[in-house]
Structure 1
Amino acid sequence: MSIVQAIRTVLFYLLLSSSAFVWGTLSLLIAPFLPYRARYRFIAQAWCKFAVWLASWMVGVRYELKGVENIPDQPCVILAKHQSTWETFFLTGYFEPLALVLKRELLFVPFFGWAMALLKPIAINREQPKVALKQIAKQGDECLKKGAWVLIFPEGTRVPTGQIGKFSRGGASLAVNANLPVLPIAHNAGHCWPKNGWAKYPGTIQVVIGPAMYAEGEGARAITELNQRAENWVIQTLRDMGELSADSAPQAVAEAS
């Protein structure tokens, strides 16, 4: 990374953290008096769109979106590839309202974390995966019934570029039980915003939204088949993008979703 890019990256982090403080403080003062959808737009959507714009302006991290026509009219379960923080910002800003599955520790972050708590996200304890899966099933179903999208990273953690983690069945199970489809999303954000380190690299992130997929039947077999179909689509799309080799196979990951 060049010296100029390093300076831009430091400035990006300073502006991002400053905006989180300012926006989080405003949200704590204003958002409690807003209805849920307006509260989501004020707290999460506006700031996340700002973060994506700031990344583009300051460090040259841009994006190209394909497959918008595949988005169903009714909110459903989003199963997205996970490589960085960028896709969390982007998807939170793009889909509205969206229930995000996140580590409960994030809600303790001063100001913005406290503001996020006002949106009642699905905050899980990743040290108790079995309890977390039950929580996702219960709260996720409630969110879907209220007309919110539910974002799940089925790999469970950020996986470096060139690799893919095994998809957990929690998202597919949630969709089948709610009689709704899953919406798979593939991207290569890790090239510009790597999993490890603070460096940011200029480039254009490719984001591809796949077709909405419905279960064929009911029960455990239908859940497994739907999950595998979504996983296969993401794998094939990443191969078409040149992100995975032809013999790449899902790997077990260290953390449960």
Structure 2
Amino acid sequence: MTVQAIRTVLFYLLLSFSAFVWGTLSLLIAPFLPFKARYRFIAQAWCKFAVWLATWMVGVRYELKGVENIPSQPCVILAKHQSTWETFFLTGYFAPLSQVLKRELLFVPFFGWAMALLKPIAIDRSQPKLALKQMAKQGDERLKQGAWVLIFPEGTRVPTGQIGKFSRGGAALAVNANLPVLPIAHNAGQYWPKNGWAKFPGTIQVVIGPAMYAEGEGPRAITELNQRAENWVVQTLRDMGELPPEATPQTVAEAS
């Protein structure tokens, strides 16, 4: 077993142990805290610890650009999805944040139970129409409560070197709330792959794009805004060498 493999095993052991400890403490303490303090205690602190642990144990570092593009008011974040790393990073960086996730994740012992206290938008992927309605309703509520809403518009983790077609749900949520979308591109999948336990030392590039507002209202404005955000992510990935010039967005089924 290589040194990096040993480090990776130790990383997962420490991460799992910390999730158990943090989740248990959260279940005991967090219900008595107001939402923002609860978020900082449960999600932000632990996710920052996870990002730090990945840096310290397996050499997965990051470089962040475009911080000046973050608006003062929370809005809808449309982020590229390649691995688990960006979930940790974005949850720790933007606070408070509500994210769209699979309902099954809330059933994971300790950590999932603690996550349920953070007002996530937990959807049932087997019922897409119902999931869209739920995302629109609960997403609007979270934005009005002053929380960022994180959406991975590809719908699932797409391997490095590919990109899935962006769904319009996030853009629709932003247009209906009269708020911008904030696109984010990165190449986390190179160092924390979608599949397997392997972790590779290196520096993840994270780029936050300009806040984008819709030009008008209605379905056409939603489609145009979504396409603009998708185009920015695609071009940024090409600029960082993550996508070949000929790569184009494709459906999740084709990407996988």
Coarse TM-score class (shorter-chain normalised) = over 0.9
CA deviation map 1:139-183 (0-9, x unaligned): 000000000000000000000111000000000000000000000
**Alpha-carbon distance in structure 2 between the residues aligned to 1:198 and 1:126:** 25
> Secondary structure of 1:118's match?
helix
Distance (whole Å) between structure 2 residues aligned to residue 17 and residue 129 of structure 1: 31
Give ranges in structure 1 of 5+ residues lacking alignment.
none
- Structure 2: where are the runs of 5+ without partners? none
Cα displacement (A) at 1:254:
3.3
**Which amino acid in structure 2 is aligned with residue 17 of structure 1?**
S
Which residue in the other structure is 1:109 paired with? 108
Listed one character per residue, the Cα deviations across residues 120-140 of structure 1 (whole Å, up to 9, x for unaligned) are 210011111111111100000
Give the secondary-structure state (helix, strand or coil) at the position aligned to 1:254: helix
* Residue in 1 that maps onto 2:50: 51
Cα distance in 2, alignment partners of residues 29 and 94 from structure 1? 24
Letter of the 1:32 counterpart: P
Mean Cα deviation higher: 2-11 or 84-93 = 2-11
Counterpart of 2:242?
Answer: 243
> How big is each residue's C-alpha offset from its partner over 1:220-241, in whole Å with a ceiling of 9 and x where there is no partner?
0000000000000000000100
What residue number does 2:223 align with?
Answer: 224
Q: Is residue 141 from structure 1 mapped to residue 140 from structure 2 by the alignment?
A: yes
Tell me the equivalent position of 1:191.
190
Give the Cα–Cα distance (whole angstroms) in 2 for the partners of residues 110 and 238 of structure 1.
36
Partner AA of 2:213 in structure 1: Y
**Aligned positions, number:** 254
The answer to whether residue 140 in structure 2 is matched with residue 127 in structure 1 is no
Residue matched to 1:42: 41
- 1:76-87 paired onto structure 2 within 5 Å: 76-87=75-86
Within 5 Å, give how 1:205-216 maps onto structure 2.
205-216=204-215
- Aligned mates of 1:183, 1:53 — CA distance in 2: 24
Residue 79 of structure 2 aligns with an amino acid whose one-letter code is: A
TM-score (norm 2): 0.98
Cα RMSD, aligned residues only: 0.9
- Identity score, percent: 89
